Amino acid sequence: MLYALLCYNSEEAVFSWSKDEDDAVMARLGVVHGRLAAQGKLGPSLRLMPTTAATTLRKSDPPMVIDGPFAETKEQLLGFYIVDCDDLDEALGVARDLGRANPGGAYEIRPLRLFLPGGLSAETAAQ
């Protein structure tokens, strides 16, 4: 089953890291990424641009476009992973591994229903 691991953290903290601090975090994450890729479990993973680059479409009548994310949270969604895990326990294990490599924040884990399979394998898309 595919799971989205949504990465939340303090944008102020993460984007204030020095290049060396960011490189160190990315190196630790690279170890986890490499293991997941070798197991064929890692799908797309992305770091989002700062919320200052965000635009929100409010689903009102009529729809309204607003600059910024305006999320009702203290932490911001900074990125996400798509992972192929047998069950929630395995997805939690992946999130724990990522959490040990990346300080602070939280991972929200959600099972996915595939809408448009894109580049995923036919086997994964059939699930």
Q: Decide if 92 is inside a domain.
A: yes
Q: Decide if 121 is inside a domain.
A: no
Q: How many domains does the chain have?
A: 1
Question: Is the pLDDT score of 63 beyond 90?
Answer: no
Q: What is the mean pLDDT of the chain?
A: 83
Q: Decide if 120 is inside a domain.
A: no
Closest CA to 7 of 66, 74, 78, 71: 78
Domain of 90 in residue numbering reads as 2-114
Give the span between the Cα atoms of 22 and 56, in whole angstroms: 28
Q: For 78, phi and psi rounded to 5 degrees?
A: -105, -10
23-32, 45-54, 100-109, 113-122: least confidently modelled range: 113-122
Question: Is the pLDDT score of 33 beyond 90?
Answer: yes
Residue 60: which CATH number?
3.30.70.1060
- Classify 33 as helix, strand or coil: helix
**Alpha-carbon torsion (118, 115, 74, 29), positive or negative:** negative
Q: How confident is the model at residue 69 (pLDDT cuts 50, 70, 90)?
A: low
Closest CA to 71 of 50, 92, 44: 50
